[in-house]
Structure 1
Amino acid sequence: MYVRRRGFIKYASLAAAGSIAGLRPFGALNALAQTAGDYKALVCVFMFGGNDANNMIIPFDTSGYTNYSNVRAGLALAQNTLLPLTPLPNFALHPSLPDVQSLFNSGNIALVANVGTLVQPTTRTQYLAGSTVPQNLFSHPDQQEEWQNASQDSSAPTGWAGRISDVLNGSYNASASVPMITSVDGDTLFCNGIATTPVSVSAGNLGNAACSEGAACAARLSTAQSLITMSTGVSLVTQDQGIASNAYKYSSILTAATQSVTPLKTVFPTGSPLAAQLQQIAQIIQVRAALGVQRQIFFAGVGNFDTHSDQLTLQASLLTELSGALAAFNAATIEMGVQSNVTTFTMSDFARTFQPNSNSGSDHAWGSHHIVMGGAVKGGQMYGTWPTLALGGPDDSGSNGRWVPSSASIQYAATLAEWFGVPQSALATVFPNIANFKSNNMGFI
């Protein structure tokens, strides 16, 4: 069963549109030239439910495709529908990813093969012999959290983005008016640090001020604001009041900033929740100078990729949404002149079994393939090690195609963190198990 584990608090859920005392004069600030400078942003797109990467990137050479088709049977995509990758003639993409194909072929996207949660380098033999592995492999909630906390222990209370903010916020965002991290997909472990509290906003409604209850709207707002200032002496209530107060403050700041600039011309796909999220992120990046930020991290999400049945239809729709949203976001970064300053990457619970199940779907697996996009990315290449696609083969953790990752999710994350500005001396703080691996940089950026 697919479970999307996250808190239910959206930090901006109480926020109202309008201005508050002490807001910066955003109109004046945004009149200044907004050059990229030392600005950098990381944008995570989490594919909730476990994307079947075996049908996202497919062998395209004769022997490779024949093997793929034989094993995948009813899940095999027809070879003449696949999208060839010009720099990698032995591979092709799912037919629902035409924009990703174009961006890869033009060098703006890299593919990273067979990445997954690991405590230490692990082979099939070691795994079968009982080697130490992450907690609760193949479990949605645990693997979602372990990708997000990079600790390979689902009980770890902070995420790797939050820990990056803990390390870098004072150096880069000391005078910022908003937190370094913004989620447009609810409260997530990825965003939480020890000293870092993210802001969470609703895509397309920064102030969350929409109200359709007529005269009751003003009363609701007045009640919410009075609760923030009410003295109770109860620590938990006081903490919640602080969260709500910050929600008002940050949402008001973001609303005022984004309303003071000319909207971006880039057209995002309509009817797509992911496109709406990435459009909101682009709008926040557009006012980076007004917000006083040099570093930002964003979290977006798309799902449900838990395709135990009817996979061909469901995954095609989701990958179509992903492809169009990524292309529009890339175009927006070009419009803003920050394409080389913004790196977008995917994460997911896990991949899915290479061998289909009996319901026209596939089941929970392990190592997966991912997409990294941006002007700083060394695109048009595949990084990591492609698994041997053989049931019970050297990379199978069992007998139905659950690939043992050849690269760890923390190596993937550390590569992004180093580009973002995390010094080598702080990598162990952000990624507790990084010393278990010979390399902390996969070279794709």
Structure 2
Amino acid sequence: MASMKSMVDQSDWGCDLHGRDASRRQVTRRGFMKGGALALIGTSTIPAFLSRSVLAEVTTAAANKKKLVVLFQRGAVDGLNVVVPYKEKNYYAMRPSIAIQEKDVLDLNGSFGLHPAMTAFKPLYDQGHLAIVHAAGSPDTTRSHFDAQDYMECGTPGVKATTDGWLNRALQTEVLTGKPTAFRAVALGTQVPRTLQGRVPAIAVSNLADFSVAGKGPQTSPISNAFQAMYDESTDAVLHGTGQETFEAVKMLKSADPAKYQPAAGVVYPNTPFANSMKQVAQLMKANLGVEAAFSDMGGWDTHQNQGSVNGQLANRLKEFSDTIAAFWKDMGSDAENVTVVTMSEFGRTARQNGSGGTDHGHANVMFVLGGRVKGGKIYGKWPGLANEQLNEGRDLTVTTDFRRVLGETAYKTLGAKNLEIVFPGSRVSPSEFLNFSQG
């Protein structure tokens, strides 16, 4: 599997990777391979109303195994307006029109407060489920979205030659107690992200409604027909190994009625792509498919112009983000005890607002860790301050916690990834460096 490096090719699929144009294109094997893992193009609404007997053939992981959900906020979220250092006088001096006033913040500890749009996060913090790591980020100083995201997903800041992702390597270090299922590592989207690329097979899930099993009803799609044909004719171990399990799993999923899935009582997800992806993560996990690691992302955080303050562009994104994660948490119910969610973004934004009512590319940021075993209700990490002389390069919040310390602790305590030198080579991350926001 590691030798397969072919990508999802837009020349095969056209500009629309969600499958609308795919029926007019020839579906090739390349279209299903991404970074050594099998990607099911066009799969999304995964039903969770599946009996244990139906899943017996593919569910090999322990029913109560810990699960890690990694969320990437693409575009560089403004951490200073997410968890607001409202006691810092320079914060207000540097942000005359976009700062969140003290009277508006959701106070956390007398020095910091959440953006008022994040009301859904406050109870999670107060109940001790949500931990915050401020001034976290990469030791690499790049201000390029592409490079910074790549470095964080690969877990090797400043090294462009890394070919696999940190989360895939974390799964590689696990001590397996049984045969993993095809859904061990899953990404919500059209292709497997850098974070999950590597030797451990991973699948990308986007829209199951567009994926019909060939020959099973009037809605059979060209994509599924091609996948069935590839599966039937192939002698490749990729398709007749994990590929076989995946196809059988999809057939089992399709045999159930997706409409039967209902979130837990009182849970309402926002009607957005990110919320839909998180609802699917909940469905997959509650369906007992053997999911150990799940990945999703949310864009729209690059607020160079008209960022807003209490209301506006950033506020809208934060409300969607926090409402969605809170809905997911409630939806998981008692299963939440074994789930850990960690959030990340490629870098923060400048301490000073710019002339367009926004902020530019910065450095340190904020990370959230949510979980049943998380020691929440606390802000972790060393606060560097916002005085002019304390700023990175005179313009940004300074990084005091390497993001790999946060991810390393979640991988170690949630997935059991004990060899962190493999997960984050050269980082020197070890249990002695943990912030201890998790009970393990």
Same fold (TM over 0.5): yes
Superposition pairs of residues 27-426 of structure 1, within 5 angstroms: 27=53, 38-61=64-87, 64=88, 66-85=89-108, 88-118=109-139, 134=140, 137-152=142-157, 153-168=159-174, 171-172=176-177, 174-185=178-189, 186-193=191-198, 195-202=199-206, 205=208, 208-209=211-212, 217=220, 221-229=224-232, 248-256=247-255, 263-266=262-265, 267-288=267-288, 291=289, 293=290, 296-312=292-308, 313-334=312-333, 337-391=334-388, 393-394=389-390, 396-400=391-395, 402-422=396-416, 424=418, 426=419
Note if contact 1:110-1:383 (Cα within 8 Å) is conserved in structure 2: yes
Tell me how far apart the structure 2 counterparts of residues 162 and 343 of structure 1 sit (CA, whole Å).
17
Q: Structure 1 15/280 Cα, relative in aligned 2: closer, same or farther at 3 Å?
A: closer
Deviation per CA, 1:135-185: give whole Å up to 9, x if none: x611101111111111112331111110011121x514x323324211013
Tell me how far apart the structure 2 counterparts of residues 436 and 40 of structure 1 sit (CA, whole Å).
21
Note if contact 2:381-2:435 (Cα within 8 Å) is conserved in structure 1: yes
Q: Structure 1 242/388 Cα, relative in aligned 2: closer, same or farther at 3 Å?
A: same
Offset at residue 220 of structure 1 (A) = 5.8
Tell me how far apart the structure 2 counterparts of residues 192 and 52 of structure 1 sit (CA, whole Å).
28
For this pair of structures, how many residues does the alignment match? 390
The residue identity in structure 1 corresponding to 2:392 is S
Offset at residue 263 of structure 1 (A) = 3.7
The residue identity in structure 1 corresponding to 2:182 is V
Larger CA deviation: 150-159 vs 215-224: 215-224
Offset at residue 437 of structure 1 (A) = 7.4
1:123 aligned residue: none
Compute the TM-score of the two structures, normalised by the length of structure 1.
0.78
Note if contact 2:129-2:370 (Cα within 8 Å) is conserved in structure 1: yes
- % identity of equivalent residues: 24
The residue identity in structure 2 corresponding to 1:13 is I
Tell me how far apart the structure 1 counterparts of residues 321 and 259 of structure 2 sit (CA, whole Å).
29
Tell me how far apart the structure 2 counterparts of residues 58 and 96 of structure 1 sit (CA, whole Å).
12
Gaps of at least 5 residues in structure 2 are: 1-6, 10-30, 33-38
Greater share of residues in helix: 1
Note if contact 2:44-2:280 (Cα within 8 Å) is conserved in structure 1: no
Gaps of at least 5 residues in structure 1 are: 1-5, 19-23, 119-133
Q: Structure 1 15/251 Cα, relative in aligned 2: closer, same or farther at 3 Å?
A: farther
Note if contact 1:107-1:378 (Cα within 8 Å) is conserved in structure 2: yes
Note if contact 2:340-2:414 (Cα within 8 Å) is conserved in structure 1: no
Give the superposed CA RMSD: 3.4
Tell me how far apart the structure 2 counterparts of residues 171 and 260 of structure 1 sit (CA, whole Å).
34
Note if contact 1:258-1:287 (Cα within 8 Å) is conserved in structure 2: no
